[in-house]
Amino acid sequence: MPHPTIHAVCLASSGRALSGTCSGPAAFVNNRKKTSPHESILSGIKSRFGALARYLAALDEKAAARLSAADHPHQAVKRLETLLPLPETGTLLHFEAGDGGFLEAFHAARPGWELSAIESGDAFMRLLKKAFLRSAYNADYRDADIVSRFDIIAVTKPLDEVEKPLNAVRWLSRRLADNGTLFLWQPALPLGTGLSLHGLPIRIANLTALCKAAGLSVDTITTEGDVVCLCARNTSQR
């Protein structure tokens, strides 16, 4: 398939050439309109232009999504700073930390905090380059030997993509310090998958139910566009 830009130029040139041959009045035979042979050609060109426009729009959406994803770590940290009065020191665990973008942004904002990460995928190799990390675990959370408890546990991966999310939230709640906060920053889900079909109200209700079932107290729920942000505290004394 030609490059979209070149393809568009070629079609535009063809359209100009054909439009000159079809500018005359339509022919009628026996009081019935006779279709010009050029009309079907022009119809095909218009159809191809429509398909090309949809293709280019899809490319634009994907590019915008990539740019938006690159901003996610900074957006999540800003939201966390807005919702919680963060002291100069503390401990934080990032669940399914990816390449460490969120942790890097948080470290820049609060360099006095001790930061840890758990990442079960290949992105863990990029986490190892983050010299500021106190600890990093390359394992499924069910197999991770984490005995520490944290002031904040951050989750920026959609829980809808986590197997048995209630089990995951329960595991996280057990690793919160007394009055520690579970910070859920849940980006928009891909269209047509899981809870994305039901909209924000159902997603919010689902996240709230997960936290309460895990024994946490939900303090704050906010939305920004399709992003849901929830803070839940561990109020039990252990």
Q: Report how far residue 188's alpha carbon sits from residue 206's, in angstroms, rounded to the nearest whole number.
A: 14
Could you tell me which residue, 39 or 179, shows the higher pLDDT?
A: 179
**Predicted TM-score (pTM) above 0.75:** no
Which positions ≥6 away from 230 have C-beta within 8 Å? 182, 183, 184, 186, 204, 207, 208, 211, 218, 220, 221, 222
With cut-offs at 50, 70 and 90, classify the pLDDT of residue 20.
very low
Structural tokens at position 73: 């770590």
Average pLDDT over the chain, rounded to whole?
Answer: 79
Condensed to tens digits (0 to 9), the pLDDT of residues 134-152 reads 999 999 999 999 999 999 9
Which positions ≥6 away from 187 have C-beta within 8 Å? 72, 156, 158, 226, 227
> Which of 83, 137, 129 lies closest to 107 in space, CA to CA?
129
Average pLDDT for residues 174-179, to the nearest whole number? 97
Q: Report how far residue 156's alpha carbon sits from residue 105's, in angstroms, rounded to the nearest whole number.
A: 13
Condensed to tens digits (0 to 9), the pLDDT of residues 69-121 reads 446 889 999 999 999 999 999 999 999 999 999 999 999 999 999 999 999 99
What pLDDT score does 213 carry? Answer: 97
Structural tokens at position 190: 């891909």
What pLDDT score does 198 carry? Answer: 57
